[in-house]
Structures are given as structure tokens and as C-alpha cells.
Structure 1
Amino acid sequence: MSIAEAFEQLLKEPLPLRITAYDGSETGPPDAQFTFSLLNERGLAYLVTAPGDLGMGRAYVAGDLTLSGAHPGDPYEALKALKHGLKFRRPSASEAVALLRSVGIANLKPPPAPPEEAPPRWRRVMEGLRHSQGRDAEAIHHHYDVSNRFYELVLGPSMTYTCAVFPTAESTLEEAQHEKYDLVARKLGLQPGQRLLDIGCGWGGMVRHAAREYGVKALGVTLSREQAAWAQQAIKEQGLDHLAEVRFLDYRDVEETGFDAVSSIGLTEHIGVKNYPAYFAAINAKLRPQGRLLNHCITRPTNVTTRTGAFIDRYVFPDGELTGSGRIITDAQNAGLEVQHEENLRFHYAMTLAGWCRNLEANWDEAVAEVGEGVARVWGLYMAASRLSFERNEIQLHHVLATKTDSEGVSDFPLRPTW
């Protein structure tokens, strides 16, 4: 039995794309827009020993599974066709035996994973307990310390790696990132002379925006040493030293208190759902009475806590964990914060990811020269797949705005939203 024949036996419906294999077999429409080509036995072994997104990701990142008809910087349309058209059925026992024989016993031994892959969850225990400070620092290092130049190529001049807010469908990515920071500032009610703490600050975009546009004294903290160095240099170049600062520091180790506002933009995904109570309690302790929190993070459509998929966990966000906005609101309330407003920006993230993929495709050669083709392939695949997940409402993006209302019930929040 050929590889293509073995594959066909698992399908519920005809393929909307073409698949070819190194044994000369092929399946799917000859005139299909997209073709996946399995080039060697190692690629087959990846697919067989880790069925699903991890095996396919390994083969693709290693170059053993190639895609024609789409650029590796933006394989969105191919993934869309794959997700809509690839429906498997469970084989019978006799079919399963025949399939295993056809792929060969040697291919049932997992090959070494590509070097871009992080260790599995059980091995990370050696780095510390899940979401301990040491293990969190290692997870952040894996994802964010890739290369500042690479991020410049993908993210664009804003150097902002979080969901943008598009004022119109025609807005550019840079306009939308500016609007995102300004929306956060408006929701926090920032005023000249106030103090802002931005936790998980990335390359300092919110810190610089608050200082430059609102005259706020802003402190940002990040667990990425490269981010902190880049941000401090940008602050200096923009003449914001007197107002803005970014430190290489865990948010749990910030000693200052009495902040007028705290922004958390894209951090909550990394801290672990069981740590939400301690997280919101720590934020509450940093705020002055009537101070505000804006929490911006990826969520699930339900409040069931789930870990990220195997490919995302190994190649993108080690230890990532998501839940619904209801859980976030509940734990913020239980920590003593009064939730004033929440907003779902799901489709804005799909548009943001489309912009990042366009940047990666446009700068592909330089990106590959900077980090290697394997890492560049990871990013193209992950961003395109994430875009599809946001569009299909498999994941969402929520803003939760809360105040540290005092014991007399005073929140200093306006009668109606002002932003």
C-alpha cells in the first residue's frame, strides 16, 4: 500500500488539496491550488509518531513536509483549506494493522525533534514548578529572546507583539497599534503626572506611549532581557528618560506601590490560571485607592481552562494556558477589584496576525538570515493558524477594566465610559 493510499483510507471526504509523497504516490485534485509534499521517511515518522498538529509541525519546520501554492511566511489560505477539508475517520482494527505495515515498523520510532522545539512539559519540571519564577523566565526566554531584529521585521516599527485595535477596516497595522495603546490609556483615564505600571511590557510600547502622549511617569517590567535592553535604548533615543523606564524584572518583584494605573497587555496568558488569584492580588496591592487596571489577554470562548495545543506549547508558548473572560473577571473580583467594563476584540487579533504575516512574507529572506528557516517557518505557521483560530471563534481577546474601589465605595469611575 502506498503512502497516498494509506492516507486516503483515513479520510471521510475527498481532499480539497493535493498531497504527494516520496514513494511517488499522490492524492487529491491535480489542479488543486495547494500541494503538500512529504519528502522523506523522517517526515513520515514525524507524522506517524505524533499524529495531529505536533507531528505535522515537526515535519514542516524540519523541511520534510513542504507546501507549494502559499508562501511559508503566510500559509493562511492553505491552512484554511486544510482545516475545512481534512476530516479523518477512525480506522477499524484490521485497517489499522494494514496501515502500520504500509508505513513500515522503522517509522514507528520517533526521530529527534527539530532543534527549534522546547522540551515536553514533563521534562520542564527540572526547570522548576509550573509557573515558578525560574520556569516562567525560561519560557519567556524561549519565545521572546529569539532576535530583536527578527521581531522588527515581523512586528514593524511599533515593535508591538499584542493585538492591535483597528479604527477602520482600512487602517494600517501601525495605526491600529497606536490606537490600541491609546485605547488602553483612555480606559485607564491617564493624566499628566500620574504613575503607570505596565507588567509584561514587551519592548516598552505602552510605556513610551503613556509618557509621550499623556505625560505619565511609566515603569515597565519584562522577563525578557533582550526586550528590556531594546526598550531602554528606544526610551533614550526618544528623549523619554525623565518619564519612562523598563526593567528586566518579574512583576512580582516590583517594590514600588501607589500606582494610579496598571496595564497588563498580553501577560495573563503566561502566568497560569491557578495563579490568577495571586496575580490580581499583587496588582491590587500596587494600586492606590481608586486606581485602575486594564487587563488585555487571549481567552477561550468558554470558562473551561485548557492548555495550548502541542505544537504551540513546544514551539511558541511553553506552559501557555487559556480560559474564558468569566474566570478572569471572577478572580479579579475575588481579589477585591471592581470590574467596570469588558470588551471582546477577537476579530482585531485576526487582522493583527494577517498584518504580521504580510510583514514576514515581505521580509522573508532577511528573517531567515537572522534566525534560520526553521524558526521562520514556525512563526509563519503559528501566526497563520492563530489567525484562523480567532476567525473561527476558537480563541478570543478580552479587555477587562477594573478599579480599586475603596472601603466607602468610591471608585472615581465616570458615570459612562469616556473613551
Structure 2
Amino acid sequence: MSLTDRSQGAAGAPATPPPGGRRSGPTVADIVRALTAGPLPVRVRGYDGSAIGPADAGITLSIRSERGLSYLLTAPGDLGMARAYVSGDLDLEGVHPGDPYEALQVLKDVRVRPPALTEGLALARGLGWERLVPPPAPPQEALPRWKRILGGLRHSRSRDSSAILHHYDVSNAFYEKVLGPSMTYTCAVFRSPDDTLEQAQATKYDLVAGKLALRPGMRLLDVGCGWGGMVRHAAREYGVKALGVTLSRAQAQWAQAAIEREGLSELAEVRHLDYRDAPREQFDVVSSIGLTEHVGVRNYPSYFGFLRDRLRPEGRLLNHCITRADNRAPHRSGAFIDRYVFPDGELAGPGRVIGEIHDAGLEVHHEENLRQHYALTLAAWCRNLVRHWDFCVSEVGTATARVWGLYMAGSRLAFERNGIQLHQVLATRNGPDAVSGYPLRPDWLP
């Protein structure tokens, strides 16, 4: 379609011209029409007054500035959209910024197409080449991977510390509102979709405790312990002496204060440590709930070897982590997640995770996929963000709050569509003569 033919929008839908008649160069509606195929499921409105897509669409994408358009054009895909949205140059009208799930559901059906060469050149000349120079990224964006080498090699101690600081040391008060009283930033387990988030998080901790067969007097090491949810639950509910380690100083400070507030100091402790610096002694059980995503796939052998060495013979390991849906998918995350959420985060398929646990000298006894539970968990976190939006914005700023809404709603959609999964894997370090201490049937089941 010629860029000068402005009478029709995508799939014949009328494109609204800008106020005051035709302008020189393509309008925002022209550009959208040139770069999409098929009918648009949303309305797109430009800062120039042009619009395209169904007038009665429930969702409207409002491109509010030339900078927003440049973000979209110079970084196609989720990164460009994230930059425009986070900076406030793109609005998703019809949804709350704390939970843009419904907008993302619709946007997944937008079909983007590269223009033909002649059409693309005409588009570029009409826009002006300066429009195709990337604007500076929002300050919430981490450096691209190739620039992070200045902070150390990927998954070195210094670079891992910077990545954790980027995501977790945002604001404990912000996390209290989003995560709720349990301060648990991992997948909950729902007996019913009607369960509250707090009920589901307690069920998750009880499930982990059951799989590890926790009993009074046992010693637990929880690596990547976050705000100490598992540590406190194990000490309070099972009389276990629990040590948690986290690379986030803010998490460790909050967790230790919570331990003291709950009167658990004789049983529970959280230290600000890299998991690789955890005490070199053997524990009865080890839990890793949400850490595997941060260690790097190439480091799985040393990671699971480290966890094996922290277990006494017949001790149990519970590894709980997000995975790809299969073993062929790339390990590295997409641009938005890598730049705005989890720098250097990597995911493997469930087969790779289980294989690496076996190869580290542990024996896997049970595996469980909690994919649907994580979708429910993320929906609950989004509801919390919406409910406390004004407070969260006052605490971390509108841009960071928008990052979280976009990230959690998008992740919910990915879990629902089986793009990613959540697997719990239970294994033992066997003693002499392959004695595992594991019963003939799972001892946490009725």
C-alpha cells in the first residue's frame, strides 16, 4: 500500500486524518498501517491527531510524542514498546498501568510486518532520518549485555551483585504492598483459585516443608532466601534451625528484622551473602526457591555441586525455579526482561535442570510443574499493585511502577500460554550403598 494513500486503515478500517487536514510526511496512522498486517484489534491514536483501528476497540494505544514514536521505530518489539511505555510516551488506555494484562492479551494478536524496500525508504524519507536515531533509553533500563562486561564477566560475583541490586533493592516498602504480608516473591500454591495470596503462599511453604520432611531440630539452608519467608516459616511452624542467604542487602536487613520481631532469633537467621559464600558445612536439607534463574545455565554444574556438598548423606534438596517449556528454547531472556527486570537472567528447560541435578551426583525422586499456580500468583500481585498504586508510585516513581505492572502482567500471560513453566524438583544426596533415606512413596502426600 502506498504511503500517500491515506483513505483506508488496516484491513480497510478508516484511518482518521490529523486535525486541520493533510500534513506533509506520513502520519502515525500511516506508519502503523505500513508496519502491520491484517485487522488491528486495538485503536492506535497518534500525537498528530491521526488514528487507526476500530473506533469501538476496548483498548487504545496512545502514542503521545515524537520520542515515543522513535522508541517504537528504533527498537522494534518488546524493547521499543517498553521504552515508550515506561517513559510515559505511550499509554494503554482502557487498562490500569498496574495491571495491563487485558491490553497485552489483545496486543499479542497484532501482526507486525517489515515493509517492502521501496515502501520502507519512502517511509524513512517522509519521517526524516533523524527520527530513526534511537533516543536515550529511560534511566530504569540496564545496560545492554555487551556493555555489562565493564562490571565483570557474566555471573561473576560483582556482576551478579549489580543484577540483584537492580531488581531487588528497589524499596522494601514497595514490595510489602505488592507481595503482601508474607513478603514472598516466588510462586504460590493454590488449592483453589479462590484462595487468598497469603493462604497460597503458606500452602507453598508447607509443600516445600513436606517434601523436605522437616522436623524439629533439623538444620535447613535456604539459598537465595529473599525476605526470609521459608526460613521464618520453617522455624515457626516446624521448629527447624534455618539459615538463609541472599545477595540483596535490603532483603537481608528486612528479613533479620522480621525474625527478631517474630521472636525467632534462636532458630532463624538471614545473612547478606553470595550463595557461594554460604557456610561450608553440611545441612539436613537445602531449599533453593527462585535462585536458579540467576546463576546462569553454564554454571549449573558448579551450582548443583555446591548444593550437593552442603547436604549430609540422605539429605534432601528442593529446587524451585522458572523454566522454559522445552529444552530447545534459548536460555537468555528477551530484551525487555533483560534490560528492565532480570539483567543476565537465564532459563533452561525442565529436562536440562533435572539432568544437571542428576549429573551433580544427586538422585531425583519427584518433579512437579506449578505453571498455572504462577499465573494466579502474578494476577494477585498485579491486584495488589493496582490497589496500592498511589503509594507505590510515591515510593519508586511512575516509571518503575509501570515496569512492574508490565512485567508481571506479561509474565502472567506467558505462564498461561505455556511459554514458561515453574518446576519443583526434589532430590537426595545418597549415602553409602546408594541409601537415599527416601520412602517407597512420597511422605508428604496423604
Which bracket does the TM-score occupy, shorter chain normalised? Answer: over 0.9
8 Å CA contact 2:297–2:331 kept in 1: the answer is: no
Q: What's the secondary structure of 2:123's corresponding residue?
A: helix
What is the alpha-carbon distance in structure 2 between the residues aligned to residue 54 and residue 133 of structure 1? 27
What is the alpha-carbon distance in structure 1 between the residues aligned to residue 403 and residue 126 of structure 2? 30
Q: Tell me if 1:352 matches 2:385.
A: no
Partner of 2:312: 288
**Which is worse superposed, 229-238 or 87-96?**
87-96
Measured after TM superposition, the shift of residue 222 of structure 1 is: 0.2
Q: Deviations over 1:145-183 (max 9, x none)?
A: 000000001000010000000011211111000001110
Measured after TM superposition, the shift of residue 100 of structure 1 is: 1.7
Number of residue pairs matched? 418
Q: Which has the larger radius of gyration?
A: 2
Q: Deviations over 1:104-143 (max 9, x none)?
A: 2111111111011111111110111100111101100100
What is the alpha-carbon distance in structure 1 between the residues aligned to residue 303 and residue 75 of structure 2? 35
Partner of 1:122: 146
What is the alpha-carbon distance in structure 1 between the residues aligned to residue 225 and residue 60 of structure 2? 40
Unaligned runs of 5+ in 1: none
Runs of 4 or more, structure 1, over 2 Å off, are 101-104
What is the alpha-carbon distance in structure 2 between the residues aligned to residue 126 and residue 256 of structure 1? 31
Q: What's the secondary structure of 2:96's corresponding residue?
A: coil
Q: Tell me if 1:255 matches 2:283.
A: no
Alignment of 1:318-329 (within 5 A): 318-329=343-354
What is the alpha-carbon distance in structure 1 between the residues aligned to residue 230 and residue 137 of structure 2? 37
What is the alpha-carbon distance in structure 2 between the residues aligned to residue 100 and residue 260 of structure 1? 64
8 Å CA contact 1:344–1:396 kept in 2: the answer is: yes
Partner of 1:272: 296
Q: Tell me if 1:209 matches 2:230.
A: no
8 Å CA contact 1:303–1:323 kept in 2: the answer is: yes
What is the alpha-carbon distance in structure 1 between the residues aligned to residue 214 and residue 316 of structure 2? 9
Partner of 1:136: 160
What is the alpha-carbon distance in structure 1 between the residues aligned to residue 425 and residue 281 of structure 2? 21
8 Å CA contact 1:3–1:102 kept in 2: the answer is: no
Q: What's the secondary structure of 2:37's corresponding residue?
A: coil
What is the alpha-carbon distance in structure 2 between the residues aligned to residue 215 and residue 12 of structure 1? 61
What is the alpha-carbon distance in structure 1 between the residues aligned to residue 123 and residue 261 of structure 2? 61
Alignment of 1:368-379 (within 5 A): 368-379=393-404
Measured after TM superposition, the shift of residue 258 of structure 1 is: 1.6
Q: Tell me if 1:44 matches 2:69.
A: yes
8 Å CA contact 2:27–2:50 kept in 1: the answer is: yes
Q: Tell me if 1:183 matches 2:210.
A: no
2:438 paired residue among 403, 413, 417: 413
Alignment of 1:93-132 (within 5 A): 93-132=117-156
2:191 paired residue among 159, 167, 170: 167
Measured after TM superposition, the shift of residue 409 of structure 1 is: 1.1
Measured after TM superposition, the shift of residue 95 of structure 1 is: 1.4
Q: What's the secondary structure of 1:408's corresponding residue?
A: helix
Q: What's the secondary structure of 2:404's corresponding residue?
A: helix
The amino acid of 1:228's aligned partner reads A
Partner of 2:428: 403
Partner of 1:70: 95
The amino acid of 2:389's aligned partner reads W
Partner of 2:106: 81
Measured after TM superposition, the shift of residue 255 of structure 1 is: 2.1
Q: Tell me if 1:366 matches 2:391.
A: yes
Partner of 1:60: 85
The amino acid of 1:182's aligned partner reads D
Q: Deviations over 1:1-57 (max 9, x none)?
A: 212112112222111111000111100111111111001111111111111100100
1:337 paired residue among 362, 365, 387: 362
The amino acid of 1:62's aligned partner reads S
The amino acid of 2:427's aligned partner reads A
Q: Deviations over 1:225-263 (max 9, x none)?
A: 000000000000000000000000011111241201000
Calculate the TM-score normalised by the size of structure 1. 0.99
Q: What's the secondary structure of 2:375's corresponding residue?
A: helix
What is the alpha-carbon distance in structure 2 between the residues aligned to residue 180 and residue 166 of structure 1? 8
**Which is worse superposed, 247-256 or 66-75?**
247-256
Partner of 2:332: 307
8 Å CA contact 2:315–2:429 kept in 1: the answer is: yes
Calculate the TM-score normalised by the size of structure 2. 0.93
Unaligned runs of 5+ in 2: 1-25
8 Å CA contact 2:64–2:90 kept in 1: the answer is: yes
